[in-house]
Amino acid sequence: MTDRVFHSPLLSRSLLPLALSFALAAPAMAAPAPLTTVSERSGFVKTGRYQEVIELCAQFAQRYPDAVRCEDFGTTPEGRPMKVLVVTRSGAFTPQQAQAKNLPVLLVQGGIHSGEIDGKDAGFLALRQALDGEAAKGALDKQVLLFVPVFNIDGHERFGRWNRPNQRGPEEMGWRTTAQNYNLNRDYLKADAPEMQAMLKLVERWDPLAYVDLHVTDGAKFEHDVSIQVEPVHAGDEALRAAGTALRDGVIERLNQNGSMALSYYPSFVESDNPASGFEDSVPPPRFSHGYFFLRNRLGMLVETHSWKDYPTRVRITRNAIVDVLELIGANGADWRRTALAADQRAQALGGQNVALDYKAGDKTRTIAFRGYAYTRTPSDVSGALMTRYDETKPEIWNIPLKYDIQPSRQVLAPRGGYLVPAAQAAWVAAKLDQHGVSYRRLDSALKQAKVETFRADKAEFAAQSVEGHQRTTLSGDWKAETQDLVAGALFVPIAQPKARLAIAILEPLAPDSLAAWGEFNNAFERKEYMEDYVAEDVAREMLKDPKVKAEFDARLQSDAAFAKSPQARLDFFYRRHSAWDTRYNQYPVLRTQSVPR
């Protein structure tokens, strides 16, 4: 039932002058104050604490209820909520709604290294301007933006003035690593940190077309103020490289139009502290953000402002980069998303093809005119080392080499079937695959005399120093055909899946950030059983009665001087041929198969 309102023409005419008088006398409704950060209010001299992120997340959702949702996507080890702002004018506030509307998703992340906090303050500024129609007009109608202001939140709250001594501003900032001392930008593939595991769940849920990681680079003093790197450009799916190149070049062009001097490569000298050595372009391994996402057939961008620029300059440039990406995704994201989904289909046919495990720039160089400063290189009376000192009052052009010819440095022929993870390793490997959304299935039945490929290490070298809490391992060896029995409960990881490249990066033992490379299988390369020398002596004498063994032993003595001089190597010659030898020693405990098991 509705209320009825009756209007009298006479009454309306009599009240009109009174209403107009009230309207003229009443003050105009004041527009709400814009949502600003501590940084913006300070003239970009300071940055706020994490409580500000929590408050701004809620305030943006309240101010723009048609366009913003504030959500938690995890909790840090110290108990802080991990905040993401879901922003769109399309009405698609869930992954399912975004997929139904074929909308590209853009994830912009700040503060992975919380001393490098430009992305947080620049992101809130760009977000407000985009929502108010002052920047990237119409772009939010055509995409969903996920904005994570701070990724390393516990590190952000380790606040101090000198946390980044080689960085100009803000006055105080957070810390590079997490409360558990993880460097999150070494953790994408191994995913040890709880924060990374939460981020990967967010990524798996939303499947962003592009992931933008906002940083501040260290290094020499020069005029260039930002570098933009994207993959796939040199690596990954061939067709998707065109989209990656268009995104990178589009952002660089727009930044330069706004006064920047942007680079397309990371400005780190080939020889530390020596400008004359020049630069080397590269494809990062998947421990890094922009080396990880192309394995998912998605776009990963690294934005690195320059630490020697002041904070207002860096925030302005980072804000410009975010707006540029928003505009480019708004204009091209639907097409690029179709290319990415087609890349998912192409990845399912990688079996039997050569797949690059890592990349390296060759010796080819071209000379670049790099905007540096005058410098001298003289021995230091403090350290005794040769030190480079820059004069920022004297800009000069450095004509220096750039290694640009990036090629695969190591490739593997992908198995036609996939990988088999024996039951003994299945539980924890399955958990790792789950973190990345890599598909697998458990085998309910045993496999008898299965035709497989095994990797037996010719050499296993354990690193002398811990890295990220791991003892990394370098293996040499190759896959060889064998037959083996597997008990029920093994995992089959098919190569025919959209994340085939990711499965290869995780499970190939020679891949730079594989489980094996991070030392997760070190037990397999530790010798645990021995034969006493006095027993080996008797075994050797018995085995030498075989003419074939004796001939092989004598030939080895003649051809290998080191072998001839080593008593242990000579005894091991016989032990390795004895039935007591551990045939699993140095065998990588993941198998490959050229067929799909039933």
Whose CA is closest to 297, among 112, 592, 503, 441?
503
In this structure, the answer to whether residues 569 and 451 fall within a common structural domain is no
**Strand pairing category for 144-148 and 105-109:** parallel
Residue at 392 is within a domain: yes
- Examine the domain organization and report whether 106 and 200 are in the same domain: yes
Domain annotation covers residue 340: yes
390 half-sphere exposure, CB direction, 13 A CA radius: 16
- Per-10-residue mean pLDDT of the chain, 598 residues long, equals 34 39 52 93 98 98 98 98 98 98 98 98 98 98 99 98 94 98 98 98 98 94 98 98 98 98 96 96 98 98 97 98 98 98 98 98 97 97 95 98 97 98 98 98 97 97 97 98 97 98 98 98 94 93 95 96 95 92 93 96
Cα–Cα distance between 338 and 240 in angstroms, integer?
A: 10
What are 455's two structure tokens?
């990797």
Which tokens belong to 310?
Answer: 């002041």
pLDDT at res. 3: 35
Is residue 20 in some structural domain?
A: no
Are 488 and 391 in a shared domain?
no
Residue 33 Cα distances to 36, 72, 179, 232, 245, angstroms: 9, 26, 36, 42, 40
Contact, 563 vs 556, CB < 8 A? yes
The tokens for 511 are 């891949």
Q: Give domain status of residue 350, yes or no.
A: no
The helix-helix angle for 567-575 and 533-543 (nearest 10°) equals: 60
Separation of alpha carbons 514 and 504, rounded Å: 8
If asked whether residues 246 and 377 sit together in one domain, one would say no
Number of domains in the chain: 4
Q: What are the phi and psi torsion angles at 398 (to 5°)?
A: -95, 120
- Are residues 128 and 175 located together in one domain of the fold? yes
What is the domain-level CATH number for residue 257?
3.40.630.10
pLDDT at 26: 47
Q: Is 518 in the same domain as 540? A: no
Q: Quick check: is 489 in a domain? A: yes
The answer to whether residues 252 and 389 belong to one domain is no
Could you give the CA distance from residue 79 to residue 77 in angstroms, rounded to a whole number? 5
Residue 159 domain-assigned?
Answer: yes
The owner of tokens 């906002």 is 214
- Residue 276 covered by a domain: yes
Can you tell me the distance from the alpha carbon of 79 to that of 179, in angstroms, rounded to the nearest whole number? 11
Specify whether 277 is located in the same domain as 385.
no
pLDDT for res 14: 39
> Which is nearest to 556 in space by CA: 573, 538, 579?
573
> Which among 299, 298, 290, 406 has a CA at the least distance from the CA of 356?
406
Per-residue confidence (pLDDT) for residue 18, from 0 to 100: 39
Tell me whether residue 384 is exposed, middle or buried, using C-beta atoms within 10 angstroms of its C-beta: 0 to 12, 13 to 18, 19 or more. exposed
Which domain range does residue 560 map to? 533-575
Report if residue 520 sits inside a domain: yes
Quick one: 493 and 417 in the same domain?
yes
- 472 secondary structure, DSSP code: -
Clarify whether residues 189 and 336 are in a common domain. yes
- Are 94 and 123 in the same domain? yes
* Phi, psi (rounded to 5 degrees) for 365: -135, 160
- Which helix (H) or strand (E) segment holds residue 302: the answer is strand 299-306
Residues 290 and 396 in one domain: no
Q: Extract the tokens encoding 112.
A: 């992975």
Q: Phi, psi (5° rounding) for residue 411?
A: -125, 160
